[in-house]
Amino acid sequence: MTTKKILDFLDRHRTEGPCLVVDLEVVRKNYRTYKRALPRTRIHYAVKANPAPEVLALLVRLGASFDVASIREVEMALRAGASAGSISYGNTIKKEGDISRAHQLGIRQFAADCPEEVEKIARAAPGAQVFCRLLTDGAGAEWPLSRKFGCDPAVACDVMRHARRLGLDPCGLSFHVGSQQTDPFAWQRALEEVVRVFHVLAGDGIVIKCLNLGGGFPSRYLRDVPLAADYGREILRALRSRFGNAFPDTVIEPGRGLVGDAGAIRSEVVLISRKSGSDPLQWVYLDIGKFNGLAETMDEAIRYPITSRYGRGKAVPCILAGPTCDSVDVLYENTPCRLPHDLKIGDEVLIGGTGAYTATYASVGFNGFPPLEVHVV
């Protein structure tokens, strides 16, 4: 699944440590696939998944909008050429000073999930559009969804009434079904509650003009996932069954879905060993781990496909770990990963599907290991 463009780049460029290479062609293809799956839906790219300037600039050219998590991400999107009107500040947790700065930069869409946040928005971004985020359960998602974001339907109605009272535009409802959501029906379940809130608010004279269906669209790692078309079909079916053909504007916020499979990391085998003579499994230590790019292996949540051009022998299960002196820097142990039995120290491995949530997740230099190097091709 690693593209020829990435392999060619890696052949031409030697690096000392691990490096991530992102292929823009794959991002372009993914964007078009989602556009085709949901033609009338606006796509807000979740900048946090991979804020590389080249990725942002490509998506600007393709006509994408942007979902940002912080004032710095607002600035990154603007720098890449995005218009302020195409940026939605989707984090429900914002300092008032950051809302104010975003407003000065022209941002007009802000998320909230409690009346307290609405008050900040009213003071710092008078007249802005407010999206209220509802709490969902995240069943079917491979990356854990906590109760951190969103509120229950009663609070959501309060939030929107409060927004109207304070002169804001209570224009949208949003939810998120959980990252790497492998069940296309997840949106259907979440929409039930959203539609209830929609009708209660309509009774109050608050017309919801836009539904933000969030992200969660998966990337293919080790296992097959449903296609963008499957998600599109189920989401449209769910919307039609609730609203008929006159449903509100819709927005999706893919991050992983657009860039996950666009990247591959080259890493080097630093050590291969066994803990005891009777140890059935060997330990393979790479120069990349939880602290310099692969944080999403936490609890073995995301399972990257790992291949090697070296070692052509039979694949055997191996425990995989990173290079730091930290005990938790083990990638796959409960479910070992399969690598050629004749893999050797110094051999390279390719870790596929690493375009999202890797480079920016890397630590500034834990144990003295530098952050992940990134190349966009």
Are the C-beta atoms of 124 and 89 separated by less than 8 Å?
no
At 145, list the tokens: 């969804």
Separation between Cα atoms, residue 143 and residue 361, nearest integer Å? 15
Cβ neighbours, 10 Å, residue 70: 17
- Count other Cβ atoms within 10 Å, centred on residue 103: 19
CA distance 55 to 258: 10
Rounded to an integer, what distance in angstroms lies between the CA atom of residue 153 and that of residue 23?
41
For residue 248, the minimal CB distance to its own copies (Å) is 23
By CB under 8 A, name the one of 8, 137, 152, 230 that touches its own copies. Answer: 152
The active-site residue, picked from 114, 132, 325, 337, is 325
Nearer to its own copies, 190 or 236 (CB): 190
CB neighbours of 109 closer than 8 A, spacing ≥ 6? 87, 88, 89, 128, 129, 131, 172
Q: Which of 34, 60, 90, 337 is close enough to bind its own copies by CB under 8 A?
A: 90
CA distance 252 to 240: 16
Which tokens hold the place of 110? 């802000």
> Judged by CB, which is closer to its own copies: 138, or 232?
138
Contact call for residue 177 and its own copies (CB under 8 A): no
Nearer to its own copies, 155 or 315 (CB): 155
Site mask, its own copies, residues 107-146, x = CB under 8 A? ------xx-xx--x--------------x--x----xxxx
Closest approach, Cβ 98 to its own copies, in A, equals 9
- The CB-of-276 to its own copies minimum distance in angstroms stands at 4
Q: How far is the CB of 232 from its own copies (least distance, A)?
A: 24
Binding status of residue 154 toward its own copies by CB under 8 A: yes
Q: Which of 13, 32, 36, 95 binds its own copies (CB under 8 A)?
A: 95
Work out the burial of residue 156: count CB atoms within 10 Å of its CB; fewer than 13 is exposed, 13-18 middle, 19 or more buried.
buried
Q: How far is the CB of 50 from its own copies (least distance, A)?
A: 11
Q: Is 62 in the site for its own copies (CB under 8 A)?
A: no
- Chain positions 215 to 254 lying near its own copies, rule: CB under 8 A, are none
Question: Among residues 359, 301, 333, 352, which one has the least CA distance to residue 143?
Answer: 301
Residue closer to its own copies (CB basis): 163 or 359? 359
- Kindly state the smallest distance separating residue 51's Cβ from its own copies, in Å: 7
Residues 267-286 that bind its own copies (CB under 8 A): 268, 270-277, 283, 285
Instruction: With beta carbons less than 8 A apart as the criterion, state whether 228 and 191 touch.
Output: no
Q: Does 348 bind its own copies (CB under 8 A)?
A: no
Closest CA to 30 of 53, 11, 46: 46
Q: Enter the DSSP assignment of 141.
A: B
Q: 190 CB contacts (<8 Å, ≥6 apart)?
A: 134, 136, 175, 177
Residue 325: active-site member = yes
Residue with Cβ nearer its own copies (157 or 239): 157
Scanning residues 12 to 51, which ones bind its own copies (CB under 8 A)?
A: 16, 46-48, 51
Instruction: Using the rule CB under 8 A, give the single segment among 3-11, 22-30, 65-73, 234-242 that binds its own copies.
Output: 65-73
Active site residues: 325
